[in-house]
Amino acid sequence: MKNQTPWLPVVLWTLISLATLFPIYWLFVISVKQPFDLFSTPDVILRSFFWKNYQDVLTNPTLRGYMLNSMIISSGNALLVTTLGFFACYALSRFDLAGKESIFFWTITNRMAPPAVFLLPLFLLLTQVYRIGDFSLADSRLGMILVYCSFNLPFAIWTLRPTVEGIPKELDEAAYMDGASPWTVLYDIVFPLARPGLAVTLILTWVFAWNEYLLAATLTNFNARTLTTGLSEYVTTTGTAWGIMAAISMLTLVPALIVFSVVQRHIVAGLTFGAVKG
Amino acid sequence: MNYVLKASALALTLGLATTASPARADFWSDAGAKYKGVTLHGVTESTPPSNYIKNVLAPEFEKKTGIKVEIETTSWDQMYDKAIKDMEAKTGIYDMVYIEQDIIYSYLARDFLVDITKTLKDQPDLKAPTYDDSNFTSFADYFKDANGDLFGTPMEAFLKTYLYRKDLFDDPKIKEAFKKETGKDLKPATTHAEYTEIAEFFTKYGKDNGMELWGTTAQAHTGHPASWYEFFESIVPTFGVYNWGIDAKNNYAATVEHGGTMNGDKAKAALKYWLHLRDIAPPESTQSTWTETATTFAAGRVAQGLIYGENAAWIASDPAQSKVVGQVGFALPPLEPGVLDDAKAGKGYIGYYDGGAFGVPVTSKNKEASLLFLEFIGQNEVQPEWAIAAPRITNKATFDDPKVKEMDTKLGGFYTMLKDEGKLFAGAPPYPFHAQVREATAPIFYDILTGKIGADEGLDQMAAKAEEELTSLGYRK
Amino acid sequence: MHSQKLGWLLLSPTIIILGLFGIFPFIYVLWVSFHAWNPFAANPGMVFNWADNYRRLVFDAQFLASLGITLAFVFFAVVSELVLGYILAQALLKDFPGKAVFRTIHTLPLIMAPIIVGSVWKLMTTPSIGIIPYLLRNWFGYDLNIGQSAVAAFTVTVIMDIWHWTPLVTLSLIAALVSLPPDPFEQAQIDGAGKSQIFWHITLPLIRPALLATVFIRLMDALRTVDEVLMLTGGGPGSSTRYIGVHIFREVFPKTNYGYGSAISVIVLYLTIVVCWLLYVGLIAPRVKRG
């Protein structure tokens, strides 16, 4: 579909991008302003740059640790739920399992309730029930990866289901008739066609895990603390260190952008539906 | 900031080395020997005094005793929630918890904390020669039970008091204009009428002269308890309404009908006074908590205000954060007649004495080692450097330290006020239901602020709601 | 036709994990909701009180008001995001210079943690000194004060949500649109169908499953919004942005009202299920009938 007026989308998107970027630009402004300047009359154009916030953040080993934890937990969880979600969707789509509509609906109910009250049972479970000897799931990266499944796995299943359902079962049949095993069908036939959906699911579950605050704050103490919990430390009764929080946020855009760029090209990985006609 | 911490650490080491005699220096290593290899876990908020504990005192302690201390810093909400969950579920995660002055009563009611005084008496080898309960200022009284036993070692204490701009009050042009308009001399207010007059003058002066200047701050956030706190902790006591107007001895009555004072005439007068101040305060006041009022003052936008001590210090002295360094004056808050006498006689108080302590949960698995740490941070010797890095004073001896005295001058006399007038201020009332009643009545208060309900009617509803909540919790029969 | 066992095998990790981290906690919360429990009440223990919490909820004006404004918020936010997201997804399908860059920029808001989103919007809209009220006053003479005006605060929360979450809709719909077979469209063009006809009769039915999934996700998440709004307004002015997520948060944390808070959560969960189920039935059934 060749576009007759190539400049129109560019203009439109430039305007949209300005609206999208303004708050992020403002975040940047906050990160390079002196603290007392934040609460005087604002100017849009910066006159001076106060880089100390960035220096403080980059030289802070604790924050680096938080960033590492966030990367591990988010990436681990995103991969886990996308994989398990894919399996689950395949099962729900290709097999005639008893009560599958109910199961499908039930998975998403795990994501429906506001999290505040669920913190207490999760806290009790992680610290006292899910443990082997001295090792408990509390304050561990593994624990957080598993706990995050409670909201990310339903999301993965719900987002992947239309994708998997949209891949014609006839393709599977054709492969089985050729003597393929179920795993081959899954990996060689269904997986490639589901790539855009899988990529989007991977990105979005990664984002949800990356941004999660409440569970991380409650269920971690020292070892598995994430960037979002690190951010909340700066919101105190003697003042919110807006500048540092803004600097940290600007810096977290970097790993996120890297993850995005790696996964994004799979979203529009040109497909042909020509394998089976009608 | 890092430089200051490093300098403090160095000074602290030198200080301890020179003041400690060989016999004392051995106490820590001897006492610590029994617990070598133990790691203590504490939870607190990420404020300067707590960060000093984490970055300077904890490493020092480890060097002396071999006991490692890990401090988890988290947000205010989370800190309470995690400490309470831990103590409630008895999971023993924390060996030390930060106790803000207003939550101590809730913790005491649930027997969550270790009795420091009793434990040190029962185990004399735990008691450090350089530690003594009597070293603390009167602020420590808020962490004692009915028998006078201490349950938390104070680590920060501040007053919320009246700040004013010395430069504006001393400016001849302004003084002349004030005299012309009111016929009086411009000086810090001692009564509410005076305060209002000065505030109105400055707001008008700012408008007439095209300056970004108003006459007063107002911590009047329409959705955050900070506004509720300013009213109940700092304003109504100056009108003679104490302990939120709830009478604990009279079946926790709050309404006038049942014998309380929350919606009495004095409270209503206080609310009218304060709402008027809110109207002439800068526009951001409707979104201001204690931090925004501080930054508003530091940005030079107001001539007076009630500011929490922990912010007052940096407003007065830190050029990186404040535009009004060296121009800040401190005074007692404006009062109704008779309130000062009540306070001096111990029958009332004139404002809020804020702060916190570190305590040991009874569920801790390392109680003795934790007590050693509490004693360590409670020593007189570590206080001066701490006071300079993170302005707060909890020990009586600290006031006389020469470096602290020097800082006091820089701060415009804030420490002198803390020392001499601290006893006129009070912490939060001894209510285990502090947060619950606040949360129950705050939404009505916000509606008063937005004008949805009238002030008088709103206070009536708040008092009734307080009684309803107290009944539901089982305190009011 | 294939062994059921394989199907259950593929499904089992999901069921196990959700059972351990979803079901158990829920059963606990359900159990607590039938008790009066506040660690700082005169009686700090759990006291069984039948359905008393639920009975109180029915008459709790604050709870009902919170539900009301939450539904309004969710309606405005989600509908806007859906429409905007669809338009942007279509716009991103065509090729034009810089498309990849624009797509990446568009997804940036998603990466920002809710506390940051709330903080930056708070700093941008603080009355008088925020950049937005400043510009609005200078350009249009309009005084934006989200600390005083309930409508302004509500609107800003909706705009903030749209800014934050539209990229999620866009991304999901791009994946769906990209997977559509070209045949029906080619056929329709040959038949001379107009753009609007193509949209209503071909595109929409084909992307209905993906659209539905996206609506559900946004609906559920919008109902649970907490951090952003808490940072921006604290639930104010008054209670005008005290959405149900914020309301529960304040019952459970500072007020430590575990029993009552649990009951509220169970009710909200139930209501969400009902709303979602109605949507599910309403949007699936007609399609099945048309078959």
Q: What percent of chain A has pLDDT over 90?
A: 26
Which chain C positions have a beta carbon within 8 Å of B221's beta carbon? 147, 234, 236
Distance of CA C31 to the CA centre of its chain: 27
Q: Which residue of A has its CA nearest to B211?
A: A41
Domain ranges of chain A: 9-50, 62-264
* Cβ-proximal residues to A127 (8 Å cutoff; 6+ apart), any chain: A136, A138, B89, B91, B93
Give the pLDDT score at A98.
84
Structural domains of chain C sorted by starting position, each given as residue range(s) with its CATH number in brackets = 60-290 (1.10.3720.10)
For residues C91-113, give the mean pLDDT. Answer: 84
**Which ipTM was obtained for this model?**
0.85
Give the pair of three-digit tokens for residue C25: 């906690």
- What tokens were used for B34? 């029994």
- Per-residue pLDDT at C285: 54
Q: pLDDT averaged over chain A?
A: 84
Q: What is the pLDDT of residue B13?
A: 63
* pLDDT value, residue C167: 92
Compute the average pLDDT of residues B435-445.
Answer: 95
pLDDT tens-place string over residues A190-236? 888 888 889 989 999 998 999 898 899 989 988 999 988 888 888 77
Q: Does A202 touch chain C (CB under 8 A)?
A: no
DSSP per-residue codes, A67-129: HHHHHHHHHHHHHHHHHHHHHHHHHHHHS--TTHHHHHHHHHHTTTS-GGGGHHHHHHIIIII
CATH class in words for B2-158+354-418: alpha beta
Question: Measured between CB atoms, which of C18, C108, C262 is closest to A24?
Answer: C108
* A40 min Cα distance to partner chain C (Å): 6
Task: Write down the pLDDT at residue B12.
Answer: 67
Q: Can you tell me the distance from the alpha carbon of B394 to that of B131, in angstroms, rounded to the nearest whole number?
A: 13
pLDDT mean over B5-10? 64
pLDDT per residue as tens digits for the range A167-197? 888 888 888 888 888 888 888 888 888 888 8
Q: Is the pLDDT of residue B172 over 80?
A: yes
Are the beta carbons of C207 and C180 closer than 8 angstroms? Answer: yes
The answer, for A62 touching chain B at a CB cutoff of 8 Å, is no
Q: Is C114 on the interface with A (CB under 8 A)?
A: yes
pLDDT of B21 strictly over 70: no
Cα R_g (chain C), whole angstroms: 23
Given a cut of 70, whether residue A155 has pLDDT beyond it is yes
Task: Give the model's confidence band at B23: pLDDT under 50 very low, under 70 low, under 90 confident, else very high.
Answer: very low
Q: What percent of chain B has pLDDT over 70?
A: 95
Residue A278: its pLDDT value, please? 25
Per-residue pLDDT tens for C231-263? 899 888 988 999 999 999 998 888 899 999 999
- Given a cut of 80, whether residue A53 has pLDDT beyond it is yes
Helix residue spans in A95-225 (DSSP H):
100-109, 119-124, 141-165, 169-177, 182-184, 191-193, 195-211, 214-219
The CATH number, out of the four listed (1.10.150.120, 1.10.3720.10, 3.20.20.70, 1.10.599.10), of the domain defined by the range A62-264: 1.10.3720.10
> What's the confidence (pLDDT) of residue C291?
40
Q: What is the pLDDT of residue A275?
A: 29
Question: Can you give the C-alpha Rg of chain A in angstroms?
Answer: 23
What SS3 state is found at C260? helix
The stretch B265-282 carries a mean pLDDT of: 96
User: Is pLDDT at A247 greater than 60 in this prediction?
Assistant: yes
User: pLDDT tier at B98 (50, 70, 90 boundaries)?
Assistant: very high
Residue B84 reports pLDDT greater than 50: yes
CATH 3.40.190.10 segments of chain B: 2-158+354-418, 159-344
Average pLDDT on B411-432 reads 92
Q: Cβ of C22 under 8 Å from any chain A Cβ?
A: yes
- 3-state SS, one letter per residue, for chain B: CHHHHHHHHHHHHHHHHHHCCHHHHHHHHHHHHCCCCCEEEEEEECCHHHHHHHHHHHHHHHHHHCCEEEEEEECHHHHHHHHHHHHHHCCCCCCEEEEECCCHHHHHHCCCECCHHHHHHHCHHHCCCCCCHHHECHHHHHHECCCCCECCEEEEEEEEEEEEEHHHHHCHHHHHHHHHHHCCCCCCCCCHHHHHHHHHHHHHHHHHCCCCCECCCCCCCCCCCHHHHHHHHHHHHHHCCCHHHCEHHHCCECCCCCCCCCCCHHHHHHHHHHHHHHHCCCHHHHHCCHHHHHHHHHCCCECEEEEEHHHHHHHHHCCCCCCCCCCEEEECCCCCCCHHHHHHCCCCCCCEEEEEEEECECCCCCHHHHHHHHHHHHCCCCHHHHHHHCCCCCEHHHHHCHHHHHHHHHCCCHHHHHHHHHHHCECCCCCCCHHHHHHHHHHHHHHHHHCCCCHHHHHHHHHHHHHHHHHHHCCCC
User: What pLDDT is attached to residue C203?
Assistant: 85
Quote the percentage of chain A above a pLDDT of 70. Answer: 91
Q: May I ask the CATH architecture of the domain B159-344?
A: 3-Layer(aba) Sandwich (3.40)
- Chain C residue closest in CA terms to B452: C238
The answer to whether B335 and B425 are in contact (CB under 8 A) is: no
Query: Tell me, what's the pLDDT at B381?
Result: 94
DSSP category for residue A44: S
Chain A CA closest to residue C110: A207
Nearest to C254 among B282, B439, B447 (CB): B439
Residue B411 pLDDT class (50, 70, 90 cuts): confident
The pLDDT of residue C33 is above 60: yes
Task: Tell me whether C42 touches chain B (CB under 8 Å).
Answer: yes
The better pLDDT of the pair B275, A28 is held by: B275
Q: Compare CB distances from A235 to B75, B294, B311 and report the shortest one's residue.
A: B75
What integer pLDDT is reported at residue B1 of this predicted model?
A: 45
| pLDDT (tens digit per residue) in A6-37 | 678 888 889 999 999 999 998 888 888 877 77
B neighbour chains, 3+ CB pairs within 8 Å: A, C
Q: How does residue B14 score in pLDDT terms, banded at 50, 70 and 90?
A: low
Split at pLDDT 50, 70, 90, the class of B457 is very high
Mean pLDDT check: name the lowest of B25-29, B315-319, B432-436, C142-146.
Answer: B25-29
- Chain C adjacent subunits, 3+ CB pairs under 8 A: A, B
Interface test with A, best of B4, B50, B81, B99 (most A CBs within 10 A): B81
The pLDDT of residue B438 is 95
Question: In terms of CA atoms, which chain B residue is nearest residue A36?
Answer: B321
Whole-number pLDDT of residue A4? 58
Judged against a pLDDT cut of 90, whether residue B180 lies above it is answered with: yes
Q: What is the pLDDT of residues C173-200, one digit of tens each?
A: 988 888 788 888 888 888 888 888 888 8
Q: C151 to chain B nearest CA, in Å?
A: 12
CB proximity A159 to B under 8 Å: no
Contacts of A10 (CB under 8 A, 6+ apart): C96, C97, C98
Over 80: is that where the pLDDT of A44 sits? no
In A, which residues are within 8 Å of C35 by CB distance? none
Please tell me which residue, A200 or B13, carries the higher pLDDT value.
A200
What pLDDT does A277 receive?
A: 25
Predicted confidence (pLDDT) at residue B321 exceeds the cutoff of 90: no
